[in-house]
Each structure stands twice: as structure tokens, then as C-alpha cells.
Amino acid sequence: MSRSGQDGTLRVTEVFSSLQGEGLWLGQRHAFVRLAGCNLRCRYCDSARARPLDAGRPMSNLALKTELKRLFGARRHAAVSWTGGEPLLQARLLPPLMEWVRAQGLKNLLETNGTMAAAFREVAPFCDLASVDIKLPTATGSERWSEHLEFLRIAPERCFVKVVLTARTTKAEWRQVIRLMQESSPNIPLVLQPATTCGDEEPAAPEAVVAYLRQASALLKDVRLIPQWHPVWGLP
């Protein structure tokens, strides 16, 4: 049943057009909707301003559609990227908007930290691709393995797992990532993404990244090394 009649007010930090700088749809033109609020505090976060749930501005469905239509009219887009923060904190309001995006002939990409399985069930039917960012304890200060396992067990085939690697990343954490993938989603692509330097957070050394890549490739079906390209291109 269509949910397009439902409406609500999202907390939105920004809406903009750019090239997708990471993951499986790297290089595509996307409209980005950055939603406010996050349930984690990652050391390498590049959008800390979006962390508070009351950040940004309230936007009705109509206002957001109007802004997206303006971007769509300016140039051709492949998808809308729902990002944050953590978009699933506002999952209740996303399905009618994601349904509308599909009606415009575009796809939906959800960028999530993969810790909110129940909320994901609400939006999964409308996701054409989900970027599930597995968070390592050295990045967040706490273990989230059980939440990630629950999330990946319900994740659709049309998703990929991303792991940001920093100088703090440990071999033990990486072994746990591989075990997590083997147990929950061995056929889903795993993307290794060296962290972009942010504050005092440094990316993993190249030799460490290559070692992680080799180890995962020997045990999983689809493993890729895809650095973040926004800083290279000088784009938001």
C-alpha cells in the first residue's frame, strides 16, 4: 500500500548536489540529504555538525521535495543519498519520500552505521542500495558487534558493508569483521576505506590496508579497496 499520503517534518542539516565519493556507486551524481542526529560518536566523523538531533532545520515533505526538484532540474542525477548523522533515527518519515524519489526515476542510497535493525526494516523496501558502515571499537569507543550482526542478518542483497580503517585499527578488530561477515553476509561486498585525516585521526598505513585486504579476500567472496574521493576532488 502506498505511503505517499503520509507527511511529517524531518530535521535536515543540508541538501546539496555532488558526486558520490565512496562505495559501489562512486562517481555518480547524487542529491544528498543530510539528516540530523546520530547515535554514535566516531573519532573520524567528517559531519560532526549533524550529530545533535536538533541540528539543522525542520523540513516538511513538501519543502524537501521542492528542494530536490530544484536540484533535479539543474542537472541529471542518478540517486538520492540519505545520509547523516544516522538517517535511521528518522526512519518513520523516510518511506514516503523514498517512494517519491523512485517515482521521479531515481534510486535511493541509504548510508547507515548498521546498528538500528528495527528501524531499517521500515525503509528496506525502498532502498536500492544500502551502505552499511561497520564501526570498529577503536573508532567509537564501544563494541557494536551484536547490533551489526542483527542488522546484517536482515540486510537485503542490494547492500554493501564499509569499514573505515584508521591508524588505531587492530588486527583483532579486523578478524572480528571477517567473522561477522562470514556469519551474516558472506556474499555481500566488503569495502575497505582508509580514513580521511580528520583532527588527530590518521588513516591506516598502506601496508596495513593491503594486509587487511589480502586476509579478507582469502575468506570472503567480494572484497574491494575504495578510498574516499571527496577530499581528492575538492567536493563536499
Positive or negative, the CA dihedral 55, 125, 92, 7 is positive
Q: Where are the domains of the chain?
A: 9-233
pLDDT of residue 70: 98
Q: How confident is the model over 130-137, as a mean pLDDT?
A: 96
Question: Is residue 61 pLDDT above 70, yes or no?
Answer: yes
Question: Is residue 107 pLDDT above 80, yes or no?
Answer: yes
Question: Is residue 195 pLDDT above 70, yes or no?
Answer: yes
Sheet strands (E) in 141-204: 159-165, 190-194
Work out the percent of the chain whose per-residue pLDDT is above 90.
Answer: 76
Question: Is residue 34 pLDDT above 70, yes or no?
Answer: yes
pLDDT tens for each residue of 160-192: 999 999 999 999 999 999 999 999 988 899 999
Q: How confident is the model over 119-134, as a mean pLDDT?
A: 96
User: What CA–CA distance (Å, rounded) separates 118 from 167?
Assistant: 32
pLDDT of residue 104: 98
Closest residue by Cα to residue 78 from 39, 19, 30: 30
Sheet of 159-165: strands edge to edge? 57-60, 9-19, 29-35, 79-83, 107-112, 129-134, 159-165, 190-194, 223-225
Does the bond joining 85 to the residue before it have cis omega, within 30 degrees of 0?
yes
Work out the percent of the chain whose per-residue pLDDT is above 70.
Answer: 93
pLDDT of residue 33: 98
Q: How confident is the model at residue 1 (pLDDT cuts 50, 70, 90)?
A: very low
Specify whether the CB–CB gap between 170 and 200 falls below 8 A.
no
Question: Is residue 79 pLDDT above 90, yes or no?
Answer: yes
What interhelical angle do 94-103 and 61-74 show, nearest 10? 30
Architecture of the domain made up of 9-233: Alpha-Beta Barrel (3.20)
Specify whether the CB–CB gap between 233 and 21 falls below 8 A.
yes
Lowest mean pLDDT among 144-148, 195-199, 230-234: 195-199
pTM: 0.91
